[in-house]
Chains A and B, each alone.
Chain A
Amino acid sequence: MYAYNEFDEAFVRERVRQFRGQVEKRIDGSLTEDEFKPLRLMNGLYLQLHAYMLRVAIPYGTLDSRKMRQLAMIAEKWDKGYGHLTTRQNIQFNWPKLKDVPEMLEALADVGMHAIQTSGNCVRNVTADHFAGAAADEIEDPRPTAELIRQWSTDHPEFQFLPRKFKIAITGAPNDRAVTKAHDIGIRMVRGGAGEPGYEIIVGGGLGRSPFIGKVLREFLPKAHLLPYLEAILQVYNLSGRRDNKYKARIKILVHETGLEEIRDAVEATFERVLEEFEFPSDLLTAEIAGHFEPPEFDNTQTLAFGEALEADPVLRAFVETNVAEHKNPAYGIVTISTKPVGGTPGDVTAGQMRVIADLAERYGHDEIRISHEQNAVLPHVRKADIPTVHAALKAVGLATANVGLVSDIIACPGMDYCALATARSIPVAQEISERFHALKLEHEIGELKIKISGCINACGHHHVGHIGILGLDKAGVENYQVTLGGDATETMALGERAGPGFAADELIPALERLILAYLQLRHSREETFLAAYRRLGAEPFQAALYPEKERHAA
C-alpha cells in the first residue's frame, strides 16, 4: 500500500485548506457559483439532482482497512450511512452538505485519501486491474506504474485544463479486467523481445456519445520511457484536441478525425523532444514506489480443510465457484465481494459492511482491499483455508451473494435517481432484473452474462460493452430503454449493436426474459456463453426474441 510522503501529505492538506476558504467565500457571497463551480469540481464536489455528491478517488482501486474504516466513519458522520462504488474505482457520497465537505476532505487526508482530480478536464483517477498483485495470469503488478502516473499527473501544471477529461487504465495481465481499450489511454503490460516487461500503449478508446475501441499507438514501450511517452501524448492532445465542441473534445475524436498514423508521428516526434528535457524523477520514484507494493508474505501451507468445507456446504461451494478467482499462490484465492444482493443497488455498501470488509481484510487478507470497476469489493489475498470463515462473516452482513459474473452482477450508473445528467433511471432496472432472474431460479443455469446499464449516453454504466447493454433515454417525456447486444469489455473488446427500437420501462424486463430464455434454447451447451452464442449466431435470433410482434408481422 502506497503511503504518502511528506510532499503528498503537505499537498493534500494545503488543498483542503484552500477549499475550506473557497467554501467560506461561496457561503458569504464573495464567490459566485460560476466562480466556485470549477473550484468545487477540482475537489470532486458535484451538485446532483437531490443533493451535493462528493466523489473520492480510490487510486487504482486499492484500499486498506484503515482507509475503509475512515470511509465508513465519513458515511455515517456526514452522509446517510453508505457509499456508492463507481465504474472508475471511486466511491461517491450522495448526501453531503456544502459546509461539511471541507471536514470530509480533512478526514480523508487523515488516511492519505482525497477527491482531487475526480472531476474536471484533467487526468482522472488512474484505474487498474482489481486483481493486480494477486492474479495468476499477471506479468507484473501494474499498481506501481499506476502510482507513478498518479504522482506525475496530479497537479501537473500543463495538464489541468485539457480540452476534456482524460482517463487512464492499466493492466498487468493479458486477460483485461480493467477495460483498457475503452480509455483515453490504455496501458497493457507486455514482454519485449528479451522477455523484459514493458508496455503496450493504446489510445483513443472511450464509450459515451461516440464509442470507440482504443487503438495500439506503440506495441512495446520500455518501462523507463513511460512518463515521457505519456507526456508526449498529452502534449499532442492538449494542443490539437478540439476545444470548439465539448462533444468532440476527447482524444478519441482527435485520433478518429486525424488518423492513427498521423497521431503516432506527432507523438513520436514530441516524445523525442520530451525525452531530452524530461525532468520528472521517474527512476527515483519508481524505486521508492516499488517498496510500497512488495507482495505480502504468503503462508504456503495448504490444508485439506478447505476441500472438506466445500464438500460439506453447498452454499459455500456456490460462492467459491462464482466469487473466488485463481490466485498466483495456489494456497490462496481472490475473493470478490458482491455488492449486488437480490434487489439491491449495484455498488452500494453500508458503513457497517465497510467495517466488516475492513476487519476481514485485516485478519484474513494481508490488509488489502480492492474496488473493481464492476462495482464490487475484492479481498485479493485470502488463504483458501480461511475462505469458509470469511464467507460466513460476509453472509452475516448480506455480502455473500454468489453472483459474480452472472446475470445479477450488473453494472449500473446512479441514473436519474441521483445524477443531474441522466435521462432515465438505471438502478430500478438493475433491481428488477436481479429480482426477476432470482425468482426464475435460472441465474446459475444461464452462466456468465454481463449486463451493463447507463442512464444516459455518457455511458458511465459501460452499456456499449455489456453482453447485454441497456441505455435509458427520455423519449418524449417517458423513460425508454434501448438494448444493445454483443458488447465485450475485455481484451477482445466489441461494441454492442443496437437490437431495435427501445422499450418502455414496463416492457423491458419481459423482453430481457424472452431474450435470455431464447439464449438457453439457442446455445450448443452450457459452455457456450451468451456472448459466444451471439457471436456464432448473429443478432437475428436474439432480435426475434426481443421483438416477437415484428416476427409475426413479417410472417
Chain B
Amino acid sequence: MAREFKPQIVTANDLLMGDVVYLTRAGGWSRRHEDAHVAVSAEQAQTMLAHASAQQERIVGAYLADVSLDESETPHPVHFREVFRTRGPSNYFHGKQAEG
C-alpha cells in the first residue's frame, strides 16, 4: 500500500539574493512561508517541483519540504531546518526575522 501522503510545499533560494523563497499558488515566488502553495498529493507535488525547477532564471535548488497545516490550512514547517529557513540564523537578528 502506498505511504500516506503528507502535505508538501516547494522551496528554493532566490537566484539574485540567495534568500529563501516559496512557490505560490500563482506559480510565482514569495519570501513568506505562509504564502506557499500546499501539494496534497504526490503527483501534485511532483508537478509543482517540475514547474519550479524550470524557473532557472529566478531560483536555485528547488525541493519539496513537508509541512503541517493549521485550522486555517496555513502551512507550517515540520523539520527544524525548515523552521530556521523561515527565520534566519540564531546568533544575529539577520535574515527573514529582521525583514518582517
Contact = CB atoms under 8 A, between A and B. Distances in A.
A193 interface: no
Interface size class of B (residues with CB under 8 A): 20 to 34
Nearest to A52: B18
B18 A427 contact: no
A98 interface: yes
B61 A51 contact: no
A425 interface: yes
Given A26-B15, A97-B18, A98-B18, A47 B60 contact: yes
A553 to B, nearest CB: 30
Interface of B: 13, 15-20, 56-57, 60-61, 78-81, 84-85, 88-92, 94-96
A48 to B, nearest CB: 8
A97 B95 contact: no
Nearest to A431: B91
Nearest to A34: B56
Given A26-B15, A32-B56, A478 B80 contact: yes
A428 B61 contact: no
A98 B16 contact: yes
A195 interface: no
A80 B18 CA distance: 14
Contacts of A33: 15, 56, 60-61
Contact of A51 (B19, B56, B57, B91): B19
A95 B14 CA distance: 13
A96 B92 CA distance: 16
B16 A99 contact: yes
Contact of B61 (A47, A96, A98): A47
Interface residues of A, number: 30
A477 interface: yes
A50 B89 contact: yes
Contact of A50 (B16, B78, B95): B95
Interface string A227-267: 00000000000000000000000000000000000000000
The 6 closest A-B pairs by CB, nearest first: A417-B89, A52-B18, A51-B18, A29-B57, A50-B95, A345-B91
B81 A416 contact: yes
29 contacts: A29-B57, A32-B56, A33-B61, A47-B13, A47-B18, A47-B60, A48-B18, A49-B20, A49-B81, A50-B19, A50-B89, A50-B94, A50-B96, A51-B18, A51-B95, A52-B18, A95-B94, A97-B17, A98-B15, A98-B16, A345-B91, A345-B92, A348-B91, A416-B84, A418-B89, A425-B84, A427-B90, A477-B78, A477-B79
Nearest to A98: B16
Contacts of B56: 29, 32-33
Q: Summarize B's interface: helix, strand, loop or mixed.
A: loop
A479 interface: yes
Contacts of A417: 84, 89-91
A51 B85 contact: no
Given A80-B94, A425-B90, A50 B80 contact: no
Interface string A122-155: 0000000000000000000000000000000000
A3 interface: no
User: Which of B20, B57, B78: most chain A Cβ within 10 A?
Assistant: B57
B9 to A, nearest CB: 17
Interface string A47-77: 1111110000000000000000000000000
A285 interface: no
Interface in A12-36: 26-27, 29, 32-33
Contacts of A96: 18
A50 B91 contact: no
Contacts of A427: 89-91
B42 to A, nearest CB: 20
B94 to A, nearest CB: 6
A33 B60 CA distance: 7
A431 B61 CA distance: 31
B89 to A, nearest CB: 4
A511 B93 CA distance: 29
Contact of A49 (B57, B79, B84): B84
B80 A479 contact: yes
A380 to B, nearest CB: 29
A27 B59 CA distance: 10
User: Which of A47, A428, A478: most chain B Cβ within 10 A?
Assistant: A47
A33 B58 CA distance: 11
Given A27-B57, A48-B18, A425-B90, 11 more contacts: A27-B15, A47-B18, A50-B85, A51-B18, A97-B17, A98-B18, A345-B91, A348-B91, A474-B81, A477-B79, A479-B80
Contacts of A431: 91
Interface in A401-439: 416-418, 425, 427-428, 431
A425 B81 CA distance: 9
A51 B78 contact: no
Contacts of A474: 80-81
Nearest to A478: B80
Interface in A145-176: none
A401 B29 CA distance: 45
A417 B80 CA distance: 11
Contacts of B89: 50, 417-418, 427
B72 to A, nearest CB: 24
B16 to A, nearest CB: 5
A98 B17 CA distance: 6
Interface string A212-229: 000000000000000000
